[in-house]
Structure 1
Amino acid sequence: MSIVNLIVHEVQKEEGESKAMLVARPNENPIDSDAEQLADKVTHLFNRSGMNTGQFSNPEGSEEGSKLPALLHKHFTGSEFDDFAAFSKACAAEYVRFLESVSEAEGGLLWFNHYELGGSHFLFIVLLKRKTGITLGDDLSFAQVNPLETDKLHMALRINLSAYHDRDDTRYIAFRFGKAPKWESEYFTQFIGCDEPKVAAKETRKLVEAASAFCQSQSLPSKAANEFKRAVAEQCLEKAEEREPLELTDIARQIESRFSAEQASKFLEIAESDAFQVEKEIFVEKAALKKLTRASGSNRSLTLSFDTDLLGESIEFNADTGELTIKELPRSLLKQLMSLES
């Protein structure tokens, strides 16, 4: 990541108050080692689970809704901002407009970070907060400090500026709320002006279900189906590690190379059908991929989970009787069972 512009503004508002005050920094913050270190922490926290994605409802902004798209349209040229300080100050004022409508909300620090990565331009808008702590001075006396909270994000937005500027048909907005209450996430979504945000976990589950439906539609043998699902899971994990969206066409190409062009077309037909409605590209939620490679279930007295590669090997399933036969039990489990018999 190469930081291009960076600035922080403060929004002062106490819980229960209806008015907020913007303390705007007149000039950009210097891009030094401290700024780069904080940028790395913010990026790491942002790429955890719980992502939402979407597009602007009106890419050029509107009078009634959020003015964020209009500010981007005005100030971002496609490769740079004409006046990043002025842009960020106007965005912060727009944020305050939505914040003041929620009496329960508190203020914080708005972090604006324009950076370049892989030839594309991105913008982070992140709400940071201070926390109260105690330190020891040089004379070993206690003193109160108010460092930034860097172990969690409250609310954060990332825009792929290049995709937005070129009007790509992609979900160029990604945002997350941490554990923010509903009323807080609602005003932040309104500030963004996002059209029908999609939750990464839900979108990933839809992809997993579409992959399973494809295997059933093609009557793939158990071993071939498991190999295909594992390949899809690995492809998804790779994109997740790269912090990039997965495109459906990536999976279609894999199906074409493993099977045929007709089956690749069939997969796309299933994924895009009314039953699944998988987006053309999604941000992958790692935890939601488990059903591709593991079978699990539980009731009040039993919990069972295993790698689907074991089916047909050390685990046999009889579909007619609904019975599951497990061989080569884990040593720890086998030891417990033996002790119960003695």
Structure 2
Amino acid sequence: MSQVQHTITHLVVHKLHRAGEGPASAELRDGACRVDDAAVRLVERLCGHYADRSSRGYGRFAEEEGEEGSPLPRLVREHVVDKRLDFAALSQRMMDALRLCADEEGAEVSGYVVIARILEGATDCLWIAVVGEAVGSAVTGALDIVDCLHLDFAALPAAGRIDLTGWQRGDERYVSFLKGRSDVAPWFKRFLGCGDVVIALKETKKLVQRLSDFAETQRLEAPARDAMLERAHGYLDELGEAGSPLALDEIARKVWPEQPERLDAALASGEAPLAGGFVPDRRAIRPLVRFRAAGEQWKLEFDRASLHSGAVHYDRASDTLVLSGLPEYLKKLLQEE
């Protein structure tokens, strides 16, 4: 997968704190941060950790679906389109909205809030991430060991990305956000002003194709490949029947427990990202366990398992497909021709 070039146009870091019953407080920076090597490394780590997390939700501003709520869509328009807000003012107004959402939802959240406008190739994006702290170890010039605080990107409790280019172009989905095992933190999703847009049939087909591609790239023996795809079919079928939404960070553990991180990376890759949180469409998962093909004068469909049971046999030498155990009604029809 090609590496995307990130160019920081604006960057600022504020601090948010809320614990217990008291109101949230914010420590605001007056102006934007200097874009130096340290800032570039921070952005690269943020984008890298975000890309590695397969469980993401997608949508658009809720106001475009007739819903009202967060002031973020209006603030983005005032900054990007109307140019009435510079970036520093935009970030401070965003912090006001973030703090209010944390208070109203009763969220206990503390951390540094990274707000950045980044060019990803030719795509203009606005990033918002709440990053916590962790204690690490450092060695001084005198070779003493001391504690030191650092940003903990591995946790990354809340992060969102607004594709400003896609938003202005009128794309269907231009807001993305990290999701946990069930959903994104309600206060942060409310802050983003995001209405989920997930088309279950379309996303299920995309997932099925990714799973099939993964099975091919692993060069598995036929029994192992079919077993993996059958596990995927069974898991997705259960979710579809129960009406339960899919969590992308769970499917790799269910389908490929031998090395789930490899499947997780495959599902997260690609130009068209997968959206978690949809109920799998059971119609779209059939290709995981069934072959379907058509020629000018024929159509056929059969289970993958039939290739191993002998019910269907492909002879490469003669380029023929042989069907065994034909039902009586079919034999009768063929004899009448």
Same fold (TM over 0.5): yes
Instruction: Determine the C-alpha separation between the residues in 1 that align with 2:47 and 2:287.
Output: 28
Offset, 1:104: 4.7
Instruction: Determine the C-alpha separation between the residues in 1 that align with 2:150 and 2:285.
Output: 38
Q: Give the aligned partner of residue 67 of structure 1.
A: 71
Q: Give the aligned partner of residue 173 of structure 1.
A: 175
Instruction: Determine the C-alpha separation between the residues in 2 that align with 1:294 and 1:152.
Output: 37
Q: Give the aligned partner of residue 9 of structure 1.
A: 14
**Equivalent runs, 1:314-325 vs 2, <5 Å:** 316-317=310-311
1:50 and 2:49 matched:
no
Instruction: Determine the C-alpha separation between the residues in 1 that align with 2:310 and 2:46.
Output: 47
Q: Give the aligned partner of residue 137 of structure 1.
A: 140
Cα distance, 1:59–1:104 mapped onto 2, change above 3 Å: closer
Instruction: Determine the C-alpha separation between the residues in 1 that align with 2:26 and 2:66.
Output: 22
Give 3-state SS (helix, strand or coil) of 1:159's partner.
strand
**Equivalent runs, 1:192-231 vs 2, <5 Å:** 192-198=192-198, 204-207=203-206
- State whether residues 124 and 164 of structure 2, in contact with CA within 8 Å, keep that contact through their aligned partners in structure 1: yes
Offset, 1:17: 3.1
Q: Deviations over 1:178-234 (max 9, x none)?
A: 46x86x71111111111135499x9633545799xxxxxxxxxxxxxx9xx9xxxxx
Q: Give the aligned partner of residue 26 of structure 2.
A: 22
Instruction: Determine the C-alpha separation between the residues in 1 that align with 2:39 and 2:309.
Output: 53
- State whether residues 3 and 113 of structure 1, in contact with CA within 8 Å, keep that contact through their aligned partners in structure 2: yes
Cα distance, 1:188–1:104 mapped onto 2, change above 3 Å: closer
Offset, 1:100: 1.4
Instruction: Determine the C-alpha separation between the residues in 1 that align with 2:70 and 2:25.
Output: 19
Cα distance, 1:238–1:209 mapped onto 2, change above 3 Å: closer
1:148 and 2:151 matched:
yes
1:158 and 2:167 matched:
no
Cα distance, 1:293–1:41 mapped onto 2, change above 3 Å: farther
Offset, 1:153: 1.9
Q: Deviations over 1:278-297 (max 9, x none)?
A: 9xxxxxxxxxx9986678xx
1:98 and 2:101 matched:
yes
Cα distance, 1:206–1:18 mapped onto 2, change above 3 Å: farther
Q: Give the aligned partner of residue 241 of structure 1.
A: 269
Offset, 1:144: 2.4
Cα distance, 1:195–1:75 mapped onto 2, change above 3 Å: same
Instruction: Determine the C-alpha separation between the residues in 2 that align with 1:84 and 1:124.
Output: 12
Instruction: Determine the C-alpha separation between the residues in 1 that align with 2:199 and 2:14.
Output: 29
Cα distance, 1:208–1:113 mapped onto 2, change above 3 Å: closer
Paired amino acid for 2:163: N
1:127 and 2:130 matched:
yes
Identity %: 23
**Equivalent runs, 1:244-283 vs 2, <5 Å:** 244-245=272-273, 276=281
Q: Give the aligned partner of residue 188 of structure 2.
A: 188
Cα distance, 1:121–1:160 mapped onto 2, change above 3 Å: same
TM-score normalised over the length of structure 1: 0.58
Q: Deviations over 1:127-173 (max 9, x none)?
A: 1111123333223334321111022321110011022123x142011
Give 3-state SS (helix, strand or coil) of 1:26's partner.
coil
**Equivalent runs, 1:29-40 vs 2, <5 Å:** 29-40=33-44
Offset, 1:81: 8.3
Instruction: Determine the C-alpha separation between the residues in 1 that align with 2:38 and 2:271.
Output: 23
Instruction: Determine the C-alpha separation between the residues in 2 that align with 1:130 and 1:98.
Output: 21
Offset, 1:241: 3.3
Instruction: Determine the C-alpha separation between the residues in 1 that align with 2:30 and 2:66.
Output: 25
- State whether residues 20 and 100 of structure 1, in contact with CA within 8 Å, keep that contact through their aligned partners in structure 2: yes
- State whether residues 102 and 108 of structure 2, in contact with CA within 8 Å, keep that contact through their aligned partners in structure 1: yes
Count of residue pairs the alignment pairs up: 242
Offset, 1:309: 11
TM-score normalised over the length of structure 2: 0.59
Cα distance, 1:137–1:94 mapped onto 2, change above 3 Å: same
- State whether residues 122 and 160 of structure 1, in contact with CA within 8 Å, keep that contact through their aligned partners in structure 2: yes
Paired amino acid for 2:37: S
Offset, 1:312: 7.2
Please report the RMSD computed on the Cα atoms of aligned residues, expressed in angstroms: 4.3
Structure 1's unaligned 5+ residue stretches are 212-225, 230-236, 247-274, 279-288, 296-307, 322-342
Structure 2's unaligned 5+ residue stretches are 1-5, 211-225, 230-264, 275-279, 291-301, 313-322, 326-337
Give 3-state SS (helix, strand or coil) of 2:269's partner.
helix
Offset, 1:51: 1.1
Instruction: Determine the C-alpha separation between the residues in 2 that align with 1:91 and 1:61.
Output: 22
